[in-house]
Amino acid sequence: MLKEALENNRFIANSTMLASAAMVVAGIIQITDEQSSESTAVGIEHVSLAAFSVMLIALVPLVLHLGRRAGRESLAKAASVAMVALSAISVTSNINGEDLAIFPAVAVPANLVILVTLVLIGVGLRRRAGVALPIAIALPLTWILLLPLSAVGGGFLAAAVYAVIAYKVSNGTLEGEAGAAIPATA
């Protein structure tokens, strides 16, 4: 059943839209609320951390889907594991109200794996699947928008990129070679 869901364009699009909504929620909180500290969470920051965790899990189906399309399935699986690990460590930080001592040891390599994978998936999508250049370029930029640029509204731009990708996945219109659409799955 899970395998079928991960191959269903509508499920992938809905999951991606959930991730976009979580990015918007986190973005609003990051812009309107001054963070209490680097490693602790208080008040509304718990909602922001929860939105970040939801976003990570909700992006897994899309990353696996795009990885298959780009011929980078193994990398997509690695990035998915990194997203789940980052989500899990964020949930523990949220529950504890502060980062665990191992947080940097998990977060830094996980974010690096995710960023590098998104770059390689973007290149693969452009070369192998003929995806439009702006989408191929925007995909890895979303991770930069979500992390270092989140405090200045980067999450909103990332959410918009993922909303467009979700729409295209849902309709089976990620561009193929010579402008032909890549056929949709179930």
* Tens digit of each residue's pLDDT, the chain (186 residues): 566 767 789 999 999 999 999 999 988 888 887 665 555 555 677 888 899 999 999 999 999 999 999 999 999 999 999 999 999 999 998 888 888 889 999 999 999 999 999 999 999 999 988 888 999 999 999 999 988 887 788 889 999 999 999 999 998 887 664 344 445 554
Domain boundaries, the chain: 2-179
For 71-132, where are the alpha helices, taking DSSP H only?
A: 73-96, 103-128
Query: For residues 75 and 68, what is the distance between their CA atoms, to the nearest angstrom?
Result: 10
- pTM for the structure as a whole: 0.87
* pLDDT for the residue numbered 178: 37
Query: For residues 131 and 124, what is the distance between their CA atoms, to the nearest angstrom?
Result: 9
φ and ψ of 184, to 5 deg? -75, 155
Structure tokens given for 77:
């699986």
CB 76 within 8 A of CB 68: yes
